[in-house]
Every structure is written in C-alpha cells, then in structure tokens.
Structure 1
C-alpha cells in the first residue's frame, strides 16, 4: 500500500477501499474518507447524493457526527474490467454495498461511484 500526503494509506487493490472506509468511519476520520474518492466522484446514501470532495466531505461530517460503530461485512471479490472494478460487501444486517472503483495513473484505486447501503 502507498501512503498519501495526509498520512492515509492508498488502495493498491480495489478491495482495500472497503477495508479503509470501515476503519475510517469507525475512527471518525472525515479527511481519510474523502481521500477514498476522486475529485468529481459520487456518494449516494438514502437521503443524500453527494458529488465531488466538498459535498462528500459534508455528507461524511454529518454522518460521523453521531459516532456510529460499524462491523466488518463479507467483502465480495472485486470484478475488474481494465481500469474499473465493481466492489461490494454483504452487511451483517442483510444489506449490501455497491461501489465502482477506478484505477488511478499511479496504479492506486479510488471510488468513482459509492452506494453504501442497498436492500
């Protein structure tokens, strides 16, 4: 894994993103969460559609303010096609996450589209 400017690790595999988001959510690390997305990417949660770092930051600031604790789900194998990968996690409560990751020029991965909870 590669280190980022802010000290966070960068994903060298698409599945790293799922682990990093869980760690950073539980730590309340908004900067680290935002760093998992490209600058113009999309986060979709039940009541929010956030596009770009500024809106994604605002969504995560609101979300982590309640200090929720998340348990690891069952990470599914990434489905890769060139510079894109579909990632997902089966959640303990029966939900599932769905994300599209994009390979970056430095061979690390960032999420392009993230919908963290589907039923």
Structure 2
C-alpha cells in the first residue's frame, strides 16, 4: 500500500532512518520501508536469518506489515559516524536486547541502511 503517494521522505541524518521506518511501518508501506535500505543491504530478520538485498528485504517487510503491528519511535543512542558510515542504535521498547544499524551516506548526502539487526539473535 503506498501510503505516501510516491512522495518518500529521505533520511538526511542517520538517526532519521529509525523514525522513517516507524512512520512507514505504521502506515503499512513496505515499499517505502524497503527504500530506506541500500540495494546490497543485509537485514537480520527474523533474528539469525539474514535477508540480503533490497528486493528480499521488501518481501520480508511486506509480510511484517501484513500483520499490522504498531511501532513506536524508540530512544536513540548516540550515533557514531566515521566518514560516510554511521552506527545507530535504539533502546528497544520491547526488551529484545538492542537494535543496531549501520548506514552509509549516499552521493546526494542522504543515508541508507546497509546492515540492520532489529533484535537480539537467539542462536
């Protein structure tokens, strides 16, 4: 479902990615969620089962939003930036142990996720 009618907001700071993910997820917009990931990104979801590439991530996110979960913006931890790479994390509201992401600055100055571990791996 294209909740944003083709006008997708972009992350101008690495911290924007988590907020936009929640916004799109709550709107049921898996396509916009997937656009927050680089083409070669890796999403470790479900935990311990990496999903590789934006198209595969989109498929997983479509399944996720089909269940209509409600997400909340979580408290961000300080972002660590080294050149065009950023490490972001949030304090999980659901007690899963930690959410961490690595983002890469794009040529236009926006940021996309390249690695995403949304919950603690149990393996």
2:111 is aligned, of 98, 109, 112, to 109
User: What corresponds to 2:17 in structure 1?
Assistant: 17
1:1-119 residue pairs with structure 2 within 5 A? 6-45=6-45, 46=47, 48-95=49-96, 96-118=98-120
State the Cα distance separating 1:94 from its structure 2 match: 2.1
User: What corresponds to 1:3 in structure 2?
Assistant: none
Structural RMSD (CA):
1.3
- CA deviation vs aligned residue, 1:34-79 (integer Å, no higher than 9, x gap): 1001111111112642111210011001111110111221111210
Unmatched tracts of structure 2, length 5 or more: 1-5
> Take 1:73 and 1:81, find their aligned partners in 2: how far apart are those partners?
23
Does the 8 A contact of 1:79 with 1:86 survive in 2?
yes
> Take 1:71 and 1:44, find their aligned partners in 2: how far apart are those partners?
20
Does the 8 A contact of 1:76 with 1:87 survive in 2?
yes
Give the structure-2-normalised TM-score.
Answer: 0.87
Does the 8 A contact of 2:18 with 2:73 survive in 1?
no
Give the structure-1-normalised TM-score.
Answer: 0.90
Q: Kindly indicate which of the two structures has a greater share of residues assigned to strand.
A: 1
Does the 8 A contact of 1:72 with 1:91 survive in 2?
no
Unmatched tracts of structure 1, length 5 or more: 1-5
What SS does structure 1 have at the residue aligned with 2:118?
A: strand
> Take 1:26 and 1:92, find their aligned partners in 2: how far apart are those partners?
16
What SS does structure 2 have at the residue aligned with 1:9?
A: coil
Does the 8 A contact of 2:78 with 2:88 survive in 1?
yes
